[in-house]
Amino acid sequence: MENINLIETFSEFKELKNIDRATMMSVLEDVFRGMLVKMFGTDDNFDVIINIDKGDFEIWRNREVVEDGAVEDPNRQISLAEAKIIDADYEVGEEVTDEVKLLDFGRRAILTLRQNLTARILDLEKNNVFQKYYDRIGDIITGEVYQVWKREILVLDEEGNELVLPKTEQIPTDYFRKGDTLRAVVIKVEMRNNIPLIILSRTSPVFLERLFELEVPEIFDGLITIKKIVRIPGERAKVAVESYDERIDPVGACVGMKGSRIHGIVRELKNENIDVINFTNNLQLYITRSLSPAKISSIKIDEANKKAEVYLKPNEVSLAIGKGGLNIKLASQLTGYDIDVYRETDSADEEDVNLEEFADEIDGWILDELKSIGCDTARSVLNMNVEDLVKRTDLEEETIQEVLKILRAEFD
């Protein structure tokens, strides 16, 4: 009966846990030999034969035939009288091989063997899952939402392995319920308390890169290269692409006819706004493209300090900065340069004063807040109404009124 239980144990794991034949046989033999060492002190003189396909196994012990009464080690030696019971032709000095029945070990030993076998194969399965996903870091996987918690989502893959999508790796507008199918990229795999922990992400730039590879055959085939991706998940992303084939327009290929290719990516990312731009080694042109859709008048670049001063017409400043400053922030990340936006001044505005001149009267953090929306001079602030300043900055109306009073006094 115990033999049947053991057979069920390892045939069950063979079918359900997808462990290869050679590894399974090695584990089984190792477990059996561990039991033999524990019971007899050694396993050197035992042969363990395992038949995975039939779910069967045999244990044979080899002992030397010695004279009656000369047995010193019952595990390695057998008396001539006992040997002749097995086969009357045995003589002293010959080797006797007889089968050791599992039931002879006792119920406790069999139970221990079964527990060890189960534990070893479970450990093996954990290592297999770890290695499988460690090799898939950076790949997109599709899974089913099994449980939704406040801080994370538990996802099951097609084999029933548990994957985790933390709240911090979810797009802010993501909303999933149990049973939903989701796509994410594997970003981290580690063993925690001897359990493989597979971390997924939908906010990583790698996720966006893999989506482009799925939607744009030219990227998958290597005809178009993604040079860099920066994104603020759920809000906006910028993707710099390059083609080594002059016949291929990389931006057009990524966007597709009437946006057919990029629409699928945008939907997957919950309507994240994606700007695809042509990469170039011409730094001025690259910065200009990165600030799209704003039109740049001129640029001054400080390569030593990685800074760029961009000059635009007043009506282009808000486009360059973007909602909440997202456009200029992503452009800086994409190019690797700190970008400062300045308004072009007409001759009538020559009397304008840089905001830095008011540092003695206005707190620095207030000046920084105004500069973050493209207002770097006194007149650029005065040209905006109070409502717009309140809406686009984190300043209170009372503070803005006080700032405007100070700035107006400069020109009165």
- Least-confidence region, from 97-101, 263-267, 301-305: 97-101
In this predicted structure, the answer to whether residue 351 has a pLDDT above a threshold of 60 is: yes
DSSP codes of every residue in 76-135:
TEEEHHHHHHH-TT--TT-EEEEEPPGGGG-HHHHHHHHHHHHHHHHHHHHHHHHHHHHT
Phi-psi map region of 175: left, alpha, beta (phi>0 left; psi -120 to 50 alpha): beta
Q: What is the pLDDT of residues 112-135, one digit of tens each?
A: 877 887 787 788 888 889 999 999
Q: What one-character DSSP code corresponds to residue 295?
A: P
In this predicted structure, the answer to whether residue 11 has a pLDDT above a threshold of 70 is: no
Q: What is the mean pLDDT of residues 253-270?
A: 92
- Give the pLDDT confidence score for residue 55 in this predicted structure: 62
Structure tokens at 397: 């109306």
Q: Are 395 and 366 in contact (CB under 8 A)?
A: yes
β partners of residue 192: 195
